[in-house]
Chains A and B, each alone.
Chain A
Amino acid sequence: GAGVSQSPSNKVTEKGKDVELRCDPISGHTALYWYRQSLGQGLEFLIYFQGNSAPDKSGLPSDRFSAERTGGSVSTLTIQRTQQEDSAVYLCASSLKRGYEQYFGPGTRLTVT
């Protein structure tokens, strides 16, 4: 079946602009996760959604970062007023439910110039 998909695959933006990254999880997966991968910090958890429950936002690095998940499926990660330190690969994952194995998408490479 189809895996996790993300768009765009690459995004170059100017410092100070807002960006939106999209994730389509595996059909039927109720849990969705966003991570960030950068050279200096490795893989960092950002946010977790489970069904209609309140998301776990504990990994979001600042209030410039937000995410939503509409209809329990597609998710959008928004970064406002981008900074150069936001440059990284943003990875989305989904799992059948919390605590189950996570399957990752190919990622969005964000470059802030």
Chain B
Amino acid sequence: GEDVEQSLFLSVREGDSSVINCTYTDSSSTYLYWYKQEPGAGLQLLTYIFSNMDMKQDQRLTVLLNKKDKHLSLRIADTQTGDSAIYFCAENSQAGTALIFGKGTTLSVSS
């Protein structure tokens, strides 16, 4: 079945780069997504990548996609304390009617 896996925790120092990794199972997903959730808030769409792309850069964010290995990563450059949150990787379900989410990676940034 469809499944998305992420490591649960990442701790970095302010100013360092953060890399959050994700593996997925459904190779037919047209897009792959990264969402951010701050405490007590909903999900904020951070960025997404079309499945025929290898890389997408958006300011401090870089998304890398390895379709062969079904591996997706999110790199945050110059990580700030405001980046502390839970980051979710998601793919479209085969029917395209839902997002399948990983369990989320809690990013902790220390100053």
Contacts and interface: CB of A to CB of B under 8 A. Distances in A.
Nearest to A109: B40
Interface stretch (B11-19, B56-64, B76-84, B95-103): B95-103
* Dominant secondary structure of chain A at its interface with chain B: strand
Interface in A60-113: 91, 93, 98-99, 101-107
Q: Interface extent on B, as a size class?
A: 20 to 34
A43 B93 CA distance: 13
Q: Interface extent on A, as a size class?
A: 20 to 34
A93 to B, nearest CB: 8
A78 B31 CA distance: 31
B92 A99 contact: yes
Interface of B: 30-31, 33, 35, 41-45, 48, 88, 92-93, 95-104
Interface of A: 4, 33, 35, 42-43, 45, 48, 50, 56, 59, 91, 93, 98-99, 101-107
